[in-house]
A = this chain, B = another copy of it.
């Protein structure tokens, strides 16, 4: 038994913590967490203090989706899936957990963020961290050498959640990948075309797709005099350029990572370069850069890529940016990342209210990213057979956050059902007649509801339609039954018309065209 007085003391001081946070207008998240601790303490007081007190919350960094959020999510998914299907992608699914060793050695430092399952006897399992590694495992396991597939599913990272910015521990990824030995840059160009299509169609405001190549980065490091064994760590410092000014990045390179000032300055010159096909051409002539075979291979591919992107008419949004690095270990060629150039601002202001630290506020919204990873499948193949892959992942949570804010801000009401008609009665004792009619409507494929009351008031039935956006009411009364008609009421205009039972279904269809 625990010491009750001690727990009661703890409850008191935890209560103070909660009150303080509330008075300081701390973030909901923070308050919820402390309230949870408080409830837990109260629960420990046990039975004689009343009912057991459940901690009523979802796990840290996760959330439920309510019907309104689901309606928005469905819309976003439909746009994305349409684009994937337009490009001829099949879809696959993999389990939410993998053997632990499948994920081992794929994520570098981020491996510490993987969720493991408890050892309950049997295999050691981990929740998937992304969809790319399971995809590579799937290809190797089934000896598939050619596929174009999409996969939309949740992935799990024990990261520090920042939910107001759309960063969760459980979140969706929407991945499109092309696996196979093909001619250079054709599938890569299609991936960028898809990002362009999706971001356009989602109407999130202006965006920009940055493109670079791992080989250009490595070549650049080599010609700038970075020692071979420091490529990865210097690369991860370059990756911070979207959040930190050059001065600080340079400082990290020199002071923390021990790079010479001269090398850092040379890198600094390159990573400030942005352009298109012309920049790739110029760098191919660059005295220093052209010394690296790797860099030249990358630059030639960027040139080719841009020529295809011109045919796809997407070069307006694509920038060759030498500062783009991307963290993941497995990329081997082209890499890219799409950022919103307006919406980042919207999200940032929402979070400023919740007291997010200032440095987070300025970060721009990356909403898609990807690249070429030609070596990953080979890591799973017993004989090391390579299956070249290129893909893109749409960062859906941030997009949801923006769409939700848009919906909130707009006057338009988000409907959470597609119900066309409410079957209602004007008098008592007509439940049986309502059930009979609604059954006919369902049979005909009409989306219809009735109130689950024997004798609902007409007014409350009409109110229900107003609230939930149902456009039509089919009203039954003694007179209508005698006449073999139904009174059809248009909720928006309050207009009513008697429709014969035989015509009712057509009339409902005519008045509520379905997508």
B118 contacts A90, C-beta separation under 8 Å: no
A311 contacts B380, C-beta separation under 8 Å: no
Interface residues of A in 65-106 (CB under 8 A from B): 65-67, 70-71, 73-74, 85-99, 101-102
B99 contacts A308, C-beta separation under 8 Å: no
- Residues from chain B with Cβ under 8 Å of A53 in the complex: 382
Interface residue stretch chosen among A348-356, A391-399, A416-424 = A416-424
Number of copies: 2
Output the nearest chain B residue to A470 by Cβ-Cβ distance.
B88
Complex-state Cα separation, A206 to B308, whole angstroms: 55
B448 contacts A86, C-beta separation under 8 Å: yes
Q: Does A482 contact B (CB under 8 A)?
A: no
Output the nearest chain B residue to A63 by Cβ-Cβ distance.
B95
Complex-state Cα separation, A420 to B483, whole angstroms: 51
Complex-state Cα separation, A186 to B454, whole angstroms: 9
Given A55-B101, A116-B120, do A88 and B417 touch, yes or no (CB 8 Å)?
Answer: yes
- Residues from chain B with Cβ under 8 Å of A59 in the complex: 95, 97-99, 123, 125
| Interface residue range, chain A | 35 or more
Our pick among B116, B141, B312, B419 for the contact of A117 (Cβ within 8 Å) is B116
Q: Does A64 contact B (CB under 8 A)?
A: yes
CB distance from A443 to the nearest CB of B (A): 8
Our pick among B142, B183, B416 for the contact of A452 (Cβ within 8 Å) is B183
- Residues from chain B with Cβ under 8 Å of A447 in the complex: 85-88
Output the nearest chain B residue to A446 by Cβ-Cβ distance.
B86
- Which among A58, A85, A186, A452 has the highest number of chain B CB atoms within 10 Å? A452
B93 contacts A57, C-beta separation under 8 Å: no
Our pick among B54, B56, B71, B449 for the contact of A87 (Cβ within 8 Å) is B449
A380 contacts B85, C-beta separation under 8 Å: no
Given A92-B64, A182-B452, A419-B88, do A193 and B439 touch, yes or no (CB 8 Å)?
Answer: yes
Q: Does A384 contact B (CB under 8 A)?
A: yes
Q: Does A24 contact B (CB under 8 A)?
A: no
Output the nearest chain B residue to A468 by Cβ-Cβ distance.
B88
- Residues from chain B with Cβ under 8 Å of A60 in the complex: 122-123
Q: Does A436 contact B (CB under 8 A)?
A: yes
Complex-state Cα separation, A91 to B97, whole angstroms: 25
- A residues within 8 Å of B by Cβ? 51, 53-60, 62-67, 70-71, 73-74, 85-99, 101-102, 115-120, 122-123, 125, 127, 137-138, 140-142, 147, 149, 154, 156, 158, 170, 178, 180, 182-183, 186-187, 189-190, 193, 197, 308, 311-313, 379-380, 382-384, 416-419, 431-432, 435-436, 439, 442, 445-449, 452-454
